[in-house]
A and B are shown apart, each in its own frame.
Chain A
Amino acid sequence: MQGSTSPPPLNSSTVRVTGNYFGTRFTMDTRFTRGKSPILERSITRPKTEVSLSAFALLFSEIVQYCQNRVYSVSELQNKLSELGQQVGVRILDVLVMREKNGKRETKVINVLLFIKVNVWKALFGKEADKLEQANDDDKTYYIIEKEPLINAYISVPKENSTLNCASFTAGIVEAILSYSGFPAKVTAHWHKGTTLMIKFDESVIARDKALDGR
């Protein structure tokens, strides 16, 4: 008979360390610093630095064109933009949690969504997201609705690929923030009431949330 002393299942938002701690070679994720670096000495509060929106728009436009040259379809392009957004999301998550949440992560779906609508949006775009809604017919699906997303400020979509929404980049940011907070989800951008980011949580997220409610 197998030993019945297996550890209790961990909440998926907690860190798992598997294997022999001392015997395992951990590879360092590139997003971590190598130690002696001025970055570590910096104040964590938000620096009051600003750049012009034109600078961002021109950079973003080059990024979209670069991605466009390396893909064959609109959906591939959106995936690529989303991947780039995820890079941003991963990096902004920790600093925002430290700055605005006293280092405390959210554990409830509704709280993490509000964190995104309020804190993340304010930090990145200078304002709250316009709306946060839950789908009527599906408890896994939520929407973040933005009438005029900053990302799309200077972008006109050509007729031949009218489904393209460069806010896929923002969708990537949101997806990374959710996933790295322990809420695996798929986030996609759509044209609906302006731009709508559709968040579809993994089954397990909703199940856990219900279990937490039941306690």
Chain B
Amino acid sequence: KELQERYNFLSKQKEDIVKSREDIMKAITDINRTTRKMFSETFEAIKQEFDVYFKMLFNGGKADLILEDENDILESGIEIVVRPPGKTLQSIMLLSGGEKAMTAIALIFAIFKVNPSPFCILDEIDAPLDESNVVRFCKVLKEFLKLSQFVIVTHNRMTIQLADILYGITMEEKGVSKIVSVKFNDEFAETLTNQ
């Protein structure tokens, strides 16, 4: 009799586990469905904006994002394919350093457009760009100023001119950083014209 009771108890426990296993599997299916939807919607939006900003930054051309495995978008890799103006369609690995940087910037702007954060810190991302590229970079950046605050670390004169506040950091004493100048936009414009 004791054995029978034990058997009933164990069967009941088994039932519970089977039930909870079903619940977990259902939850996983739900998560998969939600993430797949979120990911594909965001991906499509970024894809469109990427082409827009690529055209702006390169003054033409075409850019696309491709899922390597459309059937498994939750694990699939993402390929970037671009065509700079006057060139053929190619993988980003074949681009020059400056073109690569501009492509990355186009993609970052695209992502930012789709899902903006209230502020953005850019650490010398304009470093590999030549002068005409920096001009276009600044033009695109200006569009985002309404949307977000930007803190930009840069060496580039063009980019500096966008600044509302400018901080100069030096090491007067070896190993100790110091802020040496704070210039606000109007004042700064004045210093530039006076020179």
* A associates with B: no
